[in-house]
Structure 1
Amino acid sequence: MGRGLQSCENKSEIMLLQLYNYFNSKSTSLRSKAILEVERKNSTHFSQIKAYLRIKYNLKEDTDLTLDVIRSEQRGALYDEINKKHQHKKLYSQAKNPTFSLKDSSLWLTKGNNRARDEGALCYLQDTNIFLGENINCPHCKEKRRTVDHLATKCDRMLSFDYTRRHNEVVRCIHLQLCLTYNLKSSKKIRNHSVQEIVSNDKVEIRVDTRIKTDVKIQFNKPDIFVYDKVKKEISIIEIGITSLDNLQTVELEKARKYDLLAIEVGLMYKCKVRIIPYVMTWDGCVTTYHRKYVRSLNLSASTETYIQSRVLKKTLESISFEHRQGHQEGGSAIREADETARRLVGEKTTSKEGMLCSTAN
């Protein structure tokens, strides 16, 4: 994922092994033989690199020390080290989960248009270790321990502002894409797009956060986005959720079943097919393997999905950084660095790169 698996020590081992193999391959060169002889006589680290690697990675004597073998052992050692860490292992442990999509969760990193410093700040956030293990309660609810995961999705006191603001940003992106798909709007600039409760033409009607009137009283009758395609005679009920990694699958299932009764009623009223589309991801952009199917149902392009993931991460970083600037914690240099990056990210919301959805899904 974001932080990657890189180590200067591991790179040094690979370079020394390559250099050692190079000198050994030059058996006809007197200069190469002389250099190796001097290194072995002085018992330098370079001359003992193969023995060192066998001992370090517990390799048998008959094991061929190829670069691929060493890289595999190095990666395994890094994974073992990460699994010993309480916070870091949460994300990497999901790689073994068959319902977790590592590829789709990393779109913001592999296809995103983020500068190196911004990318580093978002990876730093994804590590969930900003508070450096401080045992302090949340300044809002005063009950739970203050962690990135708690402030990102689990604090009830932040629901009405920070979480809603992040949620509405996703709604705005999807709403713009729907408007472009149905020719309700021609401009692709997200910064100029305002979400209206109801927009329509002769082909479609799109409602946002609007109660749907039915003959029978239904508790859940106010979906995030309601799309009535008049040409295809099809209704799409879109529900958006931003949650934590622990609750990802549960929330996605709940969103998929939440409007079952509403779907039945509107299907009878409009006499058309109804589909429920949950759009759920974690605060750091992680999604399930089912998410791709829902994205295809919405006709979202890869660039739009990438943009949404980046916005969710940046909104989360902004929220936590605002928390710092309000004086709720005494940050060290690493925290101040995150704050400075967040301030710049907030100030760049109106730049042309950020303000453009890269392509229209047709």
Structure 2
Amino acid sequence: MDNDSHPDRTERLIRALIAATVVMASAALWWPVTANAARIKELASVQGVRSNPLVGYGLVVGLDGTGDQTTSTPFTAQSIAAMLQQMGVTVPPGASMQLKNVAAVLVTAQLPPFAQPGQTLDVNVSSLGNAKSLRGGTLIATPLKGADGQVYALAQGNLIVGGAGASAGGSKVQINHLSAGRVPEGATVERAVPTPLNQGEFLQLDLNANDFGTAREVAKAINTKMGEGIALALDGRVIRVRMPASPDARVSFMADIENLPIERAAPAARVVINARTGSIVVNQAVTLSSCAVAHGNLSVTISTTPVVSQPNPLSGGQTVAREKSDITINQAPGSLIQMPAGTQLVDVVKALNSLGATPQDLLAILQAIKAAGALNAELEVI
């Protein structure tokens, strides 16, 4: 083998790598970027295809002395008496039942769309009385009803409580919550809920947020994929879609359109404020006009010192303990700070950070900036 061929091959390899790098770099300039794209299934839901809440009242038995105190929760004793009567056991009227291993609970579940009889659901169990813990209990058969009063599922099973606790001699230790638990696959569906998927010629898609631009893009994507005139945007939230005739074709049709990518429009500028926790969330569309803000901290300090008033000797008075309070008010100087206009979120964050205010102070500052017309966003207090 000729040794001179090695440098030639190395040179050809380097040239090929350079050419590939140039091609990939140029492709990044013209290749469409879908960073803000989302699928239709993430932006809209089918009208009528939704889950339904179920609720029921039941009893948890088998507790280790941590159940309801029937003296203060009479409905637990009434429920036990009614259950025993259905089983053929008659409780004498006026009999006092001091039960500590039974708890009255509220059972909730979500019936998903297209759920059929025989399928299982997870249920949540929450105490209604003064039970100390539901740990180790068993939920007896509980009918779960919908908003129409019909029974759609039947729940029963052993509870899983993600906590533990112990108490003795006036001391108590508890980890997590003991008065609520969960029964995985604890309910069996007894009745199905009809859905409008196979009813009528049209199906309605409801956007999760009201936005005319997104509604137009969703209708445009469906018409491009399935044919002109298939989808029609009725307003900023509703898109009416013409569906095939057969149920199988409708399932295939929905499977095709729900994965269509949609270029999401820019969201409305909004600042969300939680007045209870002091949390502030600003989205990327918020802009700030030029303004000037002065902010000064005001603090009030109250200090109390115990003072003993001692009477003079042989005066016959009594020693009295009193308190002396000193109140101090400090107001820090607040200089006028000019906040430049910000057209990007990073500029708005820098401008707000320059004030050096706490989140609680920013609540009032943002409201004042909005009132002055310098905050180009909608304030929402939750």
TM-score (norm 1): 0.19
* Greater radius of gyration (CA): 2
More strand per residue: 2
TM-score (norm 2): 0.18
More helix per residue: 1
Structure number with the bigger relative contact order (C-alpha 8 A, sep ≥ 6) is 1
